[in-house]
Structure 1
Amino acid sequence: MKRILAAALLAMGIHGLFLGVECNRLKRISIERPSPLVMTMTLTMRQPQMPTSKPAVKKPQIPKKKPVLVKKVEKKPKPLPKPKPKKIVKDDVQPFEKELSKEIPEKSFDESKTPIEPEQTFFKESAKKVISVPTQQIAREARPLYLINPTPKYPKIARKRGYQGTVVLEVLVDRNGKVGSLKVLESSGYTILDRAAKSSVKNWLFEPGIIKNDKVEMWVRVPIRFELK
């Protein structure tokens, strides 16, 4: 038993010695290992490239045209044409051997309503109703009664527009001195004045014509002047 224990101790001593030698040998031989390299990786995100803007192309500037002022030419109103006088067809009559004419002092009609007298009167007989006789047998010719007859009215429209003129009426005076018929022999150039003259004279009274102490029908021309003063 003692032998086994001594052997065991011997063996353990040998092993301990052996281990000590090995440890010293290992200490002497040291392998230097290189230090590990540390690699650092940096990830960078590329920014998206913005499309490079092309340089703006300058458009050629068009010169502005200055507005041209155009003057408006006002058209002058055309003057109204005067109405043409109506042509009046005369009845066929047998004139006297010598036509009697008598001038009367000229009076013109204005707005003051003064009596109108004809510029001059001419007489002739109707072929249908009055027998033609020598002038020497006429005792009196027919003539208007100016003191009794109303003055022709000057139409307001004619006054405003400045219408003037002379109307010559041919009037048939009967045996009673009244107007049997009348017509416009010469127009004033304005229908409104012609109508005013006819409208007034148709109600006039006349001194009937006398031949051989007898009253007869007789034609008389009565001019009426419309004049502004």
Structure 2
Amino acid sequence: MKILPYLQKQIKSPNKVGFFISAVIHLGVLAFIFVTFKSTQLKQNGENRVTMSLASINTSAVQKKHSTTAPKPKPKPKPKPKPKPKKTKPIEEKQPTPQEEITEVPDTKDDEKEDTSNTTSEGAQAESMAYNEGVSDEFLAKIQTAISKKNKYPRIARIRGLEGEVLVEFILNMDGKLEGLKIIQSTAGQILNDSALKAVVAASKDFPLPKQRVRIKIPIAYTLRS
């Protein structure tokens, strides 16, 4: 209340009034600046506090999570598949091929030709020879006797009642060998024909030796006695 009369006294002087107004304005501006500066500081401090508290919360939460969650077991390494053994084919040893022994075959064509020519010539000579030429009846009788001794009547021919006569021909050499034995004519059948040829061959060892090569023709008779 004492201030008002003091102000009234001061207002009466204009210089003092202007100074007072300017001072009030300056004080107001300073006060505004101070208030705004404080508010900004408070805001900054609050943000720092909030961020720090959030960081501490996050770290604690992470620590709790790490502490609560048990460590996961490491997966066991899968066993590597064993390599399959490669099947190796056995190497076949090539066996040496046996070499064929080449045997030289003597050329017998010429010899065969000579033999055939000789036989043909001899055959021609035999055909040209007359039967029983140069031999006596006694010579022929000895041949006939030798054949009769070796000639056996076949049993099957006896059973069947086979009879007949077989006329044979052969060449008798001076050494007693036979050539060109064959049947000229027969009425006895195959069984008696074979028997006659066998008898001549068997009896040839007992034939008399001629002085020259002769062509013999002789009959062999087969008869069954009653």
Larger Rg: 2
Scaled to the shorter chain, the TM-score interval is 0.3 to 0.5
Q: TM-score, normalised by structure 2?
A: 0.37
**Which of the pair is proportionally richer in strand?**
1
Q: TM-score, normalised by structure 1?
A: 0.37
Task: Specify which structure has the bigger relative contact order, considering alpha-carbon pairs within 8 angstroms and separated by 6 or more residues.
Answer: 1
